[in-house]
Chain A
Amino acid sequence: MLRQIEGSKAIAETVALCRPEVVCAYPISPQTHIIEAVGAMVKAGTLAPCEFINVESEFAAMSVAIGASATGARAYTATSSQGLLFMMEAVYNAAGLGLPIVMTLANRAIGAPINIWNDHSDAMAVRDSGWIQLFAESNQEASDLHVQAFRLAEELSVPVMVCVDGFILTHAVEGVDLLDQSYVDSFLPPYEPRQMLDTKAPVSIGAMVGPEAFEEVRYLAHLRQLDALELIPEIAREFFESTGRDSGGLVRPYRTDDAETVVVAMGSVLGTLKDAVDARRDLGELVGVLGVTSFRPFPSEAVRDALAHARQIVVIEKAFSIGAGGVLSTDIAIAIHHEQTLLRTVIAGLGGRAITRRSLEKVLDDASRDELAPLTFLDLDQGAVDRERARMQASRRSGPSAENLLRDRGTVSPKIPA
């Protein structure tokens, strides 16, 4: 049913339709509304049977999810930012053990400086953990992806992280067509564990593995992700055929066929980008957008196909590897491997800085004139940076840069009427 609903609520209601048996989570902005809503449904008895376990930390949340999943229960949790880092060890364990936990990651920047707003640093920090990472473009897709995520996770015995832009999507009230229970029940069969702690057929899970087999265990995990490259589009196709909705899949090309310049991005910025591209298309400019839905596994072949004819590729990313550059760009560069294509990286939206249509237009303007630098920081206040560099030069004890920059912006003592 189509409803005007907050993203978090739509996700929570969809998760409930997936009949998780154990939900364990620790609240952190901007994930909180999702977990509150799931908790309320468990308490009201509308999500049953399901045990909601209040834990004392994110580390415990993922540990409980691991335990629950190992006993054959469908397990779900959600987190953001520092919460994800706090559970990092268990995040790797969940993947290493091959437990099909589904987790919503309401994407948020990582401190310090502490910042509650959206970017993709948290997802990037665990990109090598062995989790499948799917990025939602809208709240409709965020909801739909959860149903697909449980199916994918359980078929492959791999945990899946559904990445949803914190605040921008989680707190946005939009029209979302929510699935109904009978549809989800038909799409998502009951969980059939590949491994399970069962007193009738005892096994141990989590053996110590030395040099004699560790590489093979890791390689098997890699193969399962490669299997996911086949399964993700298959599940998306089946979902499309039964709902008419184009949610999920590996990549989403938009007007790329004859595009000379293709902008690549993940998550909610894609909508704003498509508006910008449509306007330019009306003026005859050959631009397109490529949304990367599946970041892990990375769909190199699909990316290569979609970008085959592009002369210039502009990757807009909400995270970067400090001291190196773009993260998504690196994967794109490896995927395309032809040197005649211009590859440009634009770092944008860090710590919740709004990515405006106007700024995107400027990027596209620069790109159309071949004036885009290899690495650009969108809307960077160069003056503020220069002034801080000068302070550092002028005095050994120039103090903490974050505070200095806030003072420079006048944010420490905001404008108050005289």
Chain B
Amino acid sequence: MFQIRIHGRGGQGVVTAAEILSVAAFDEGRHAQAFPSFGSERTGAPVVSFCRFDDRVIRTHEPVMEPDAVIIQDVTLIHQVDLFSGLSPDGYVLINSSSSFSDLGFGDFFDQYHIERLMTCPATQIALEHLGRPLPNAALLGGFAALTGEITCDAIDKAVREHFIGPVGERNAAAVKAAFDYVASKVKEVARASTN
């Protein structure tokens, strides 16, 4: 079972992101589940969504308490919400930011984590470029595919096009690809640096 928690703010497509990710996993033949954290949805309020996928039937309906990956759609949540609660030292973190991970001021918080699993991705910028709107959710899923390898970029691409019909789907798919390429190259960079 692989479990993902997505943090963002109302209006950023946090719930949609989890749903699309679950559809992508489903399309790859896995069992998948996505659900929101069920707040009273308000634009700008902190929102959490969850996704889990597995090769076996998923019976549990508890929230994701110990995520394998955390996606942060809004970097301003860092001071407001316990974003990394339950995240194991083997976990992945993908943050929507144009700063580098080490510049985000986490101090020694992530010392026990794998540095190649901690990434930022300028998803809002990528979204503005491709969609003309600051909606980072689809792009971050591309980045998630590149970071974790738990799902293919093709599956994300297909699920995004299923969800956003027509030109909007095209533009989101382009954002997915751009973010995938960005994170994939970062992952390679870190790998090269660590072997040198």
Smallest CB–CB gap between A199 and chain B, Å?
48
Binds B, one of A37-45, A121-129, A164-172: A164-172
Q: Is B19 part of the contact surface with A, judged by Cβ < 8 Å?
A: yes
Q: Is B59 part of the contact surface with A, judged by Cβ < 8 Å?
A: yes
Interface residues of A in 342-357 (CB under 8 A from B): 352, 354-357
A-B contact count (CB 8 A): 75
**B76: nearest residue on chain A (CB-CB)?**
A417
Cβ of B35 and Cβ of A172 under 8 Å apart? yes
**What's the Cα separation between A415 and B35 when bound, in Å?**
25
Q: What 1/0 mask marks residues of chain B from 61 to 85 whose CB sits below 8 Å from any chain A CB?
A: 1110100000000000001100000
Q: Is A337 part of the contact surface with B, judged by Cβ < 8 Å?
A: no
Interface residues of B in 49-68 (CB under 8 A from A): 58-63, 65
| Cβ-defined partner of A173 (8 Å) among B23, B62, B79 | B23
In this complex, which of A138, A171, A269 has the most chain B Cβ atoms within 10 angstroms of its Cβ? A171
Residues of A within 8 A of B36 (CB): 167, 171
| Cβ-defined partner of A417 (8 Å) among B26, B35, B79 | B79
**What's the Cα separation between A203 and B33 when bound, in Å?**
51
Q: Is A57 part of the contact surface with B, judged by Cβ < 8 Å?
A: no
Cβ of A117 and Cβ of B35 under 8 Å apart? no
**A117: nearest residue on chain B (CB-CB)?**
B38
Cβ of B62 and Cβ of A4 under 8 Å apart? no
Smallest CB–CB gap between B47 and chain A, Å?
13
Cβ of B23 and Cβ of A4 under 8 Å apart? yes
We find that the number of chain B residues with CB closer than 8 angstroms to chain A is 23
Smallest CB–CB gap between B59 and chain A, Å?
3
Interface residues of B in 1-36 (CB under 8 A from A): 18-19, 22-23, 26-27, 31-36
Cβ of B35 and Cβ of A356 under 8 Å apart? no
Looking at chain B's contact residues, the main secondary structure is mixed
Cβ of B31 and Cβ of A358 under 8 Å apart? no
Cβ of A173 and Cβ of B34 under 8 Å apart? yes
Residues of B within 8 A of A6 (CB): 19
| Cβ-defined partner of B62 (8 Å) among A169, A352, A357, A417 | A357
Residues of A within 8 A of B31 (CB): 175
**B33: nearest residue on chain A (CB-CB)?**
A174
Cβ of B35 and Cβ of A173 under 8 Å apart? yes
Residues of B within 8 A of A174 (CB): 22, 32-34, 58
Q: Is A275 part of the contact surface with B, judged by Cβ < 8 Å?
A: yes
Q: Is B196 part of the contact surface with A, judged by Cβ < 8 Å?
A: no
Q: Is A71 part of the contact surface with B, judged by Cβ < 8 Å?
A: no
Cβ of A169 and Cβ of B22 under 8 Å apart? no
Residues of A within 8 A of B35 (CB): 167-168, 171-173
Can you show 20 pairs from A to B with CB atoms below 8 A apart? A6-B19, A117-B38, A167-B36, A168-B38, A168-B61, A172-B34, A173-B23, A173-B32, A173-B34, A174-B22, A174-B32, A174-B34, A175-B31, A268-B61, A271-B59, A272-B59, A272-B61, A275-B59, A416-B79, A417-B79
Chain B residues within CB distance 8 Å of chain A: 18-19, 22-23, 26-27, 31-36, 38, 40, 58-63, 65, 79-80
Q: 8 closest pairs, A vs B, by CB?
A: A271-B59, A4-B26, A417-B79, A172-B35, A167-B38, A173-B34, A268-B61, A272-B60
